[in-house]
């Protein structure tokens, strides 16, 4: 459904993203990970036609047969929000502080031709869909009257308003506390029609995504099903990411996010981190394994 082929991004002569290719099928949830500056955001912004001034994209990206790269702004305006939409890290900068949130959700629909009365009605439905309690009341609130987590739900409602084919999230939960983050991730995973999820946090990817793309220095250096990439990283950089992530020292925490803490001693496959495990016991040298639900890794002995 989304097919990205040899997407490159330049600022003048400097190549910032180099020949990135990947696809996302309907319903699929793909994580885009990599260190700061590796090109994740520029890749996503290329798909939205929102690259900064002086930065250009080449290559192709087609969503449901429609080109996203190299098309005039007028066409992009129509696609943005309607075919592909994005949730950013900081909702306060994306929301208009002077406008009630219901009106902001309504506006993205009227801009795409939905009659005002229908859009107002649907805005309240959408605020309910992203599980904001008392959505009619929330619709009348201004952004500063809501919590960070509630504002991020409003952003998600806005992103979903025109029923896009693809949702892109760029670190949408980084600013939220852990409990709110978990609820938000579950919601995103549930409502996204197809998802490209950018993060630094491997535990977040493990709890939301089916597949993962790893970027390094502007290229995709590794990609594949989550369990394959995490269990048998092929690129040295991915190994490093895994070793440096919360997954290694705090395997239990990851398992908790995925809702599946395997009891100690009940995990016959052993530890996925093998000799990199800080609990290095003989058990850690056995074959990698996944928890029962296939989402998370864990040692068969409890991590602290």
Residues forming contacts to ligand ATP in the complex (CB under 6 A) are 11, 16, 34, 36-42, 52, 55, 200
Contact 152, 173 (CB under 8 A): yes
Closest CB to ligand ATP among 28 and 171? 171
Q: How far is the CB of 79 from ligand ATP (least distance, A)?
A: 21
For residue 212, give the 3-state DSSP assignment: strand
> How many angstroms separate the CA atoms of 169 and 156, rounded?
9
Contact (Cβ atoms closer than 8 angstroms) between residue 104 and residue 86: no
CB of 11 to ligand ATP, least distance (A): 4
Closest CB to ligand ATP among 105 and 198? 198
Q: For ligand ATP, which is the closer residue by CB, 128 or 217?
A: 217
Of 36 and 179, the one with the shorter C-beta distance to ligand ATP is 36
Helices (H), 130-274: 135-139, 148-160, 178-191, 202-208, 226-231, 236-244, 251-257
Q: Coil, strand, or helix at residue 279?
A: coil
Q: In whole angstroms, how close is the CB of 248 to ligand ATP at the nearest point? A: 20
CB of 206 to ligand ATP, least distance (A): 18
- Decide whether 37 or 240 has the Cβ nearer to ligand ATP: 37
Tally DSSP H helices, then E strands, for the chain. Answer: 12, 10
Give CA–CA dist 302/149, Å, rounded. Answer: 31
Burial class for 4, CB neighbours closer than 10 Å (0-12, 13-18, 19+): buried
We find the least distance from the C-beta atom of residue 242 to ligand ATP, in angstroms, to be: 17
């Amino acid at each position: 459904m989304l097919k990205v082929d040899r997407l490159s991004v330049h600022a003048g002569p400097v190549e910032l993203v180099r020949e990135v290719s990947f696809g996302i099928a309907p319903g699929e949830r793909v994580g885009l990970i990599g260190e700061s500056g590796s090109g994740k955001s520029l890749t996503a912004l290329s798909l939205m036609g929102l690259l900064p001034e002086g930065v250009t994209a080449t290559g192709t990206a087609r969503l449901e047969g429609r080109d996203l790269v190299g098309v005039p702004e007028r066409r992009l305006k129509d696609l943005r929000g309607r075919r592909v939409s994005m949730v950013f890290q900081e909702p306060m900068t994306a929301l208009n502080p002077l406008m009630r949130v219901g009106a902001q959700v309504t506006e993205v629909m009227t801009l795409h031709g939905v009659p005002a009365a229908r859009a107002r009605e649907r805005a309240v439905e959408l605020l309910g869909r992203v599980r904001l309690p008392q959505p009619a009341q929330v619709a009348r609130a201004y952004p500063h009257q809501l919590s960070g987590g509630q504002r991020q739900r409003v952003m998600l409602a806005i992103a979903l308003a025109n029923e896009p084919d693809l949702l892109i999230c760029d670190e949408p939960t980084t600013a939220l506390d852990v409990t709110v983050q978990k609820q938000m991730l579950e919601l995103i995973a549930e409502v996204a029609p197809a998802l490209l999820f950018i993060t630094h946090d491997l535990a977040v990817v493990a709890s939301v995504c089916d597949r993962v793309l790893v970027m390094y220095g502007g290229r995709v250096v590794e990609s594949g099903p989550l369990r394959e990439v995490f269990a048998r990283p092929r690129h040295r950089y991915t190994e490093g990411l895994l070793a440096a992530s919360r997954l290694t020292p705090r395997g239990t925490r990851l398992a908790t996010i995925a809702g599946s803490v395997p009891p100690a001693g009940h995990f016959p496959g052993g530890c996925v981190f093998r000799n990199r495990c800080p609990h290095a016991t003989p058990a850690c040298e056995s074959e990698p394994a996944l928890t029962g639900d296939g989402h998370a890794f864990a040692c068969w002995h409890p991590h602290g």
